[in-house]
Amino acid sequence: MASRSVNKVILIGNLGRDAETKFTASGASVTRFSVATTRSWKDQQSNEWKEETNWTNVVLWRQENVANYLTKGKQVYVEGRLQTRSYDDKDGKKVYATEVVAEEVILLGGRGEGSGEYEGGGQRSGARAAGGQSRGRTGSAAPEEDPFGGMGVTDDDVPF
């Protein structure tokens, strides 16, 4: 009997900073950004509402056109898979990074927030990206220095 597994992530949150696009030695574009998701719950002991924000690093392959639209504070839908990679930092210590490798990214919000190119209120990247490009799928990424390390991002940086 063959075993089955699922590795699927769906996020709806706000961008914590502008997306950055870089190119690999072979010319493939890699766009990186972080998404803040917040959950709220009522503390049963104090009867107060509590809030917790989680930051998730996202990588989008071969979609260099989208970085101009992924700016801090925009609400975004991300669909993809979890991937953990490792690299050696400046001191030679092995560091592990878990991130979402996006297969689809959709800007959310009304026409005032997005570019208004889509009647559905968002701009898409991924399977239905402009120019008919295919989903940004890739094998394992080459080890590189973590671009999100040392950002010093706190809850005060959340744009909402």
Mean pLDDT of 33-58: 93
Residue 158 located in a structural domain:
no
pLDDT tier for residue 141 given thresholds of 50, 70 and 90: very low
Q: What percent of the chain has pLDDT over 70?
A: 68
Q: What's the number of domains the chain is made of?
A: 1
Residue 145 located in a structural domain:
yes
Domain range for 109: 9-149
CATH assignment at residue 91: 2.40.50.140
Mean pLDDT of 18-36: 93
Mean pLDDT of 47-67: 91
Residue 4 located in a structural domain:
no
- The Cα-based distances of 124 to 26, 33, 65, 114, 155 in angstroms read 25, 16, 11, 11, 28
Return the pLDDT at 65: 78
Calculate the CA dihedral of residues 150, 100, 135, 128 and round it to 10 degrees: -90
Return the pLDDT at 2: 72
Return the pLDDT at 157: 52
pLDDT tier for residue 120 given thresholds of 50, 70 and 90: very low
Return the pLDDT at 105: 94
More confident residue, 156 or 53: 53
Residue 154 located in a structural domain:
no
Q: What percent of the chain has pLDDT over 90?
A: 56
Residue 160 located in a structural domain:
no
Return the pLDDT at 3: 85
- For residue range 84-113, what is the model confidence (pLDDT) as tens digits? 999 999 999 999 999 999 999 999 975 444
Return the pLDDT at 149: 52
Residue 19 located in a structural domain:
yes
Do residues 89 and 145 touch, judged by C-beta distance below 8 A? yes
